[in-house]
Amino acid sequence: MCGIVGFTGKQQAAPILLEGLEKLEYRGYDSAGLAISDGERVNVVKCMGRLAALREKSNNGKSVAGCVGIGHTRWATHGRPSDENSHPHVSENGRIAIVHNGIIENYAQIKEMLINRGRVFKSETDTEVAAQLIDYYYEGSILEAVAKASRELEGSYALGIICADEPETIVGLKSHAPLIVAYGEEGNFFASDVMAVVKYTKTVSYLEDDEIAVVTDKDIKFYTSFLDEIKKEKVTVDWDISSTDKGGYEHYMFKEIMEQPEAVKRTIAPYIIDGRAELSSVLDKAYINSLSRIYIVACGSSYHVGVIAKYNIEKLARVPVEVVLASEFRYCDPIVDKSTLVICISQSGETADTLEAQNEAKRLGALTLAIVNVEGSSIAKSADKVIYTKAGPEIAVATTKAYSTQLAVTILIALYVAECRGTIAAEEYAEIMRQLDVLPVTLEKILADKANIQRLAYQHFNNEDLFFIGRNIDYALSLEGSLKLKEISYIHSEAYPAGELKHGTISLVVDNMLVIAVASYGKLVDKTLSNALEVKARGAHVMGITTDSLRSHVEKATDEIITIPDAHDVLLPSLAVLPLQLFAYYVALYRGCDIDKPRNLAKSVTVE
């Protein structure tokens, strides 16, 4: 959610921090701020709104001089968005400044204790409580004060701290929220995301829970919360800095839509060997044959990937699959044992609900498999097995290429499990593998037809209520199409199984309402079209999405149509999602929305 970055070196810190915060804007935020040590005191500048407002208020960082500092973009949790609640927060005497990602769950008890000891608070935040607590324990060593405070703080947090009395030092502290340190030639960094520092260095170390980093311009040292010094591995991040730029596109989201063919190709290539889905390095064949059940646990778009994966795995491998929202998994008493595979899907690898669900599955004895996009992320490190998608950095809040690469991985899993269990005919297996191998080329063909989708978006961008309908995998895909549209265009949109319309929802259909009927699954197209005619009879305008071979059939029940190439059923959602992404993008563009940073949303949800 929030973004944090720190720098200590020989250059002015504020411009470097502002630049780093810009790279973290994709995480979502409603305010931003800087705290800079000038060698004598800590100077803070912060405000509500976008980074442009902070740049203006700080004169592009020139008004806060100093070579050591911390920066923050805040997404409000405790306390409404305001200048006062913006980070950084300082202790009552101004000695300690702090930035914070996450939630301190026992802040109220600590705050009451500090108030009883005479401390005065200025904000509504849990973060100021941490700053005051660290200052309360400060007796000449910021490291010792942070260590003492860490043993009292409960929750999910990553903290960056500077102290006026130790002006060359930044301290980082992590507990269930991401934090890295980075080694640069002209200084050292810490950040919540490597994206903030990759311009300056690709050498990083990852903090584990309850570890403390002491960062100066010359050195970085690591300690436990009981001040035992520890050694950390240095890791080289394999990211091309150009992948974090827009590359000439108007928006990151559009760039990432267009990058999907290459991202899918990078993701599936290592697991296709001699025309077969080869995952034995991840899942042993003997284990696959012992499986009694699979859970897929995820949030948001990753959950929608799971819904499609359920249809595909059950269809091909004949293993029962249950898809559960990660925020519900821990609390539904899941039936899990050693014969259960729990697949956890997350773009960032830091999704708090998914991480906790994965830990619960491990506690219950299941084997856990993570599908994530970020190496070294918390979910990746916690899982028993990992498959990395190769989407590369995804900057836009609304996911596109991460969704497509996750979906491709689940198809590989379905094929591998089906072959291991002998539930798929050789001819069908070979045909799916052939189509999967050329999937990137097929995706490029669909993207080449974007002008038609842009035309349709222009005709319908003024709609305020919209339905997506479909059956089976078409319904599963409709969930993602609806979410994309509402995320970035702010149109009220819902996805329904087409057969459920008659059971209440059809009462909401009015004249000229747009209904998008996803009708690519051949076995159920006629039933979906029957439902499309029902809404047309009540005044709706119906847009169909179908395959080339079904075009003439679907046209009879729709007002306009988008087609995708013919494909095996399991691959249809991988193709049809592209028109839905493009439609959402163009609708949001015509509505003048902030496409890459939609209101109230965060890219990585690191708190429950």
- Mean pLDDT of all residues in 592-604: 78
pTM over 0.75: yes
What is the residue whose two structure tokens read 């050789």?
A: 426
Q: Which residues pair with 563 in a beta bridge?
A: 546
Domains 3-237 and 449-594 share a fold: no
CATH for the stretch 3-237: 3.60.20.10
Catalytic residue among 2, 67, 299, 344: 2
Annotation marks residue 2 as catalytic: yes
What is the residue whose two structure tokens read 């301290």?
A: 171
How do the domains of the chain map onto residue ranges?
3-237, 249-444, 449-594
Q: What percentage of residues in the chain have a pLDDT greater than 70?
A: 96
Could you tell me the maximum CA-CA distance found in the chain, to the nearest angstrom? Answer: 79
Report which secondary-structure segment, H or E, holds 93: none
> Which token pair is 229?
């010094």
CA 245, distance to chain mean position in Å, is 18
Pick the CATH number of 449-594 from 3.40.190.10, 3.40.50.2300, 3.40.50.10490, 3.30.930.10: 3.40.50.10490
List the one residue out of 481, 484, 494 whose CA is nearest residue 520: 481
The per-residue DSSP string of 517-532 comes to: EE---GGGHHHHHHHH
Annotation marks residue 420 as catalytic: no
Q: Which residue has the higher pLDDT, 76 or 250?
A: 250
Query: pLDDT at position 24, please?
Result: 81
In terms of average pLDDT, the best of 43-47, 422-426, 532-536 is 422-426
List the one residue out of 571, 574, 540, 572 whose CA is nearest residue 558: 540
Q: How far apart are CA 283 and CA 384, in angstroms?
A: 10
Superfamily of domain 249-444: Glucose-6-phosphate isomerase like protein; domain 1 (3.40.50.10490)
Q: How far apart are CA 84 and CA 51, in angstroms?
A: 16
Q: What does DSSP assign to residue 88?
A: P
Residues 6+ apart with CB under 8 A from 110: 104, 129, 133, 152, 153
The mean predicted confidence, pLDDT, of the chain is 91
- Mean pLDDT of all residues in 332-343: 93
What are the tens digits of pLDDT across the range 110-131?
A: 999 999 999 999 888 888 999 9
Residues 6+ apart with CB under 8 A from 492: 464, 465, 466, 486
What are the tens digits of pLDDT across the range 493-515?
A: 999 988 877 787 887 778 888 99
Q: Is the pLDDT of residue 604 over 70?
A: no
Q: How far apart are CA 177 and CA 101, in angstroms?
A: 7
Q: Which residues pair with 343 in a beta bridge?
A: 296, 369
Q: How far apart are CA 33 and CA 54, in angstroms?
A: 7
Query: pLDDT at position 243, please?
Result: 64
Catalytic residue among 255, 390, 486, 603: 603
